[in-house]
Structure 1
Amino acid sequence: MPIDPARATAAEPRTVPLVWDHKDVILYHLGIGAGTPATDPAELRYTLESRLHVLPSFATVAGGGMALAGGLTAPGIDVDLAAVLHGGQSITVHRPIPVRSSGTTLTSRVAAVHDKGKAAVIVLRADVADHDGPLWTAVSQIFVKGEGGFGGERGATERLEAPVGAPDVTTDRLIREDQALLYRLSGDWNPLHADPAFARTAGFDKPILHGLCSYGIALKAVVDTALGGDVARVRAYSTRFAGVVYPGETLRVRMWRDTPGPGRIQLTATAVEREDAPVLTDTVVEYA
């Protein structure tokens, strides 16, 4: 079997240097749709180095997405990229992410491998720190079709209750036709997001947008509309990837404040042109 759960979870954590600077941050921000209108002061915080702040979801690509790249090549893990989908993602931010790395390291490991029957879910944990201490912790759930049925634990299934009442904020974000092509320059080179022939082998009519791109777009929408544009207020951000969005479509983000509790925004993201097909569900931003 391509996945050996015992070997994967018993492997020693990997620690590697993590390097980025303002160019990587700006490229990531552009990849999730920042910069429109180009001269808007609110957008210049994402695109102009003299005013730059870092959206916490940048953690998913810092250093070229080392957490995911390393996890899928860990001992005991050998999977076909055509069978891989991102199932869920969470980030806990210990302090604001700096514009430039400084003595930064990433320590990653396979925390668990769950048996979902027809699929396996690889849980990757990454802890990032620099000279001043911890920066963030990220947990990724990677869904691998056809790799289940090995008799392992199924793992917990966490679902949030649907919010009650109308959302406090609703905003639409247009996904440009070239959005995936730009986003992949931040480190996710899976051809699923660029090559039509490869996308068809994975069961899609055409290339899909990266789930983590949708993840970043939604967080930027929350920061810009519900958190006064202050990225430092974000403490944690978690989601379940429930479906896909295609370049050229519109992502609709709905937000409910203080749901499911104080200091928490529950949100959903849907594809408008496909009758609000779910894209992100069970999604919460915790904020100060």
Structure 2
Amino acid sequence: MAVSYQHLKQRPFAPVRQRYTERDTMLYALSLGLGNDPLDAAALPFVFEGAAGGLRTLPSQAVVLGYPGFWAREADTGIDWVKLLHGEQRMRLHRTLPASADIVGHNRITHLTDKGEGKGAIMVTERRLETADGELLATVQQVSFLRGDGGYSQRDGGQPSDDPLPALRPTPEDRAPDFTDIQAIRPEAALLYRLMGDFNPLHADPAVAKAAGFERPILHGLASYGLVAHALVRQCADHDPSRLRALDIRFTAPVFPGETLVTEIWRTPDHPNHFQVRARVAERDKVVLSHGWAEIA
């Protein structure tokens, strides 16, 4: 079955009702490496419910809440899911995430853009994360690159193709970053992060990773996204997660568990609360996340 524009755009998603607990919040932080240093007082409030001031929630946890599962693998989508890559992630926080709550995720496909035969297609899914009482917590957009589904708009007599989202802004090349953050990624990081709900075997099964063109399982894009969010909170928000209000970023190359992520952050000249960000892997000196933009109150 090939990709159908109308089928995907109209695909219904049942509301995802979820109760997450303080245990889930601590597990999320641990999956990103917080707690690696048991003497790191700044990390303790994210992994220990008895910390002074209570348990804190990393803002990037919003991207794993209300998640509908790896639905792209279902046969009715027509998506060549083995060749699906996470292209970009965009997030807006409308209020601070509580350490535990009953929430509802409302998911839909907002954009499907054909890049042409052999060039893939771009799919945007949006999730509105609300409390059980209907208060909006966060809006999350995931941009996926469907590497095996380009040219769909030219088949079956022609199908629509949406305009893409506004392009993200390139990170500076003409000056050194204002902040640099270094994080070692644990060798089992992808296996831990799977417990957040993304069970795509690309991140666990060496055979699936090889079929997708990788030498071994890669880290989830959202795990590296969470590492960058933590770097921003640590470097620019004085460890206060409530100050991170938005984070958009592009995934440009895979990250492998066991590598070292170097996050580079620039102040922007046009707004004191806006920052540009990218990340590279130290061992390969390879930029793996770019075109990043963040808002910090």
- TM-score, normalising length: structure 1: 0.92
Deviation (angstroms), 1:132 = 5.9
Asked whether 1:165 is paired with 2:175, we answer yes
Aligned with residue 192 of structure 1, among 190, 202, 205: 202
1:144 match: 146
1:108 match: 107
SS at match of 1:49: coil
Deviation (angstroms), 1:16 = 2.5
Asked whether 1:271 is paired with 2:275, we answer no
Deviation (angstroms), 1:75 = 9.8
Deviation (angstroms), 1:74 = 8.3
SS at match of 2:8: helix
Aligned pairs for 1:64-79 (under 5 A) are 65-66=67-68, 69-70=70-71, 72=72, 77-79=77-79
Asked whether 1:183 is paired with 2:185, we answer no
Deviation (angstroms), 1:160 = 1.5
Q: Is the 8 A contact 2:168 2:249 kept in 1?
A: no
> Cα gap change, 1:193/1:97 in structure 2, threshold over 3 Å: closer, same or farther?
same
Deviation (angstroms), 1:155 = 2.2
SS at match of 2:101: coil
Aligned with residue 256 of structure 2, among 246, 255, 261: 246
CA deviation vs aligned residue, 1:127-147 (integer Å, no higher than 9, x gap): 111126111110101111110
Distance, in Å, in 2 between the alignment partners of 1:74 and 1:9 is 15
Backbone CA RMSD of aligned residues: 2.0
Distance, in Å, in 2 between the alignment partners of 1:124 and 1:24 is 24
Asked whether 1:122 is paired with 2:126, we answer no
Q: Is the 8 A contact 1:5 1:76 kept in 2?
A: no
1:62 match: 65
Distance, in Å, in 1 between the alignment partners of 2:112 and 2:75 is 13
2:293 match: 284
Counterpart AA for 2:41: P
2:90 match: 90
Structure with higher helix content: 1
Deviation (angstroms), 1:157 = 6.0
Distance, in Å, in 1 between the alignment partners of 2:122 and 2:93 is 24
Does 39-48 or 148-157 show the bigger shift? 148-157
Q: Is the 8 A contact 1:7 1:75 kept in 2?
A: no
SS at match of 1:240: strand
Deviation (angstroms), 1:18 = 2.2
Distance, in Å, in 2 between the alignment partners of 1:237 and 1:147 is 28
Distance, in Å, in 1 between the alignment partners of 2:23 and 2:269 is 35
SS at match of 1:209: coil
Q: Is the 8 A contact 1:259 1:265 kept in 2?
A: no
> Cα gap change, 1:20/1:97 in structure 2, threshold over 3 Å: closer, same or farther?
same
Q: Is the 8 A contact 1:81 1:190 kept in 2?
A: no
Deviation (angstroms), 1:12 = 4.5
SS at match of 1:183: helix
CA deviation vs aligned residue, 1:121-179 (integer Å, no higher than 9, x gap): 11101111112611111010111111011222462561423324111111211111111
CA deviation vs aligned residue, 1:68-94 (integer Å, no higher than 9, x gap): 535x37896232431111011111101
Counterpart AA for 2:138: W
1:235 match: 245
Deviation (angstroms), 1:260 = 6.0
Deviation (angstroms), 1:223 = 0.4
Q: Is the 8 A contact 2:65 2:129 kept in 1?
A: no
Does 251-260 or 116-125 show the bigger shift? 251-260
Q: Is the 8 A contact 2:126 2:142 kept in 1?
A: yes
Counterpart AA for 1:78: G
Report the count of equivalent residues.
283
Distance, in Å, in 1 between the alignment partners of 2:269 and 2:245 is 15
Q: Is the 8 A contact 2:73 2:81 kept in 1?
A: no
Aligned with residue 221 of structure 2, among 187, 211, 222: 211
SS at match of 1:19: strand
Percent identical pairs in the alignment equals 36
SS at match of 2:271: coil
Counterpart AA for 2:33: G
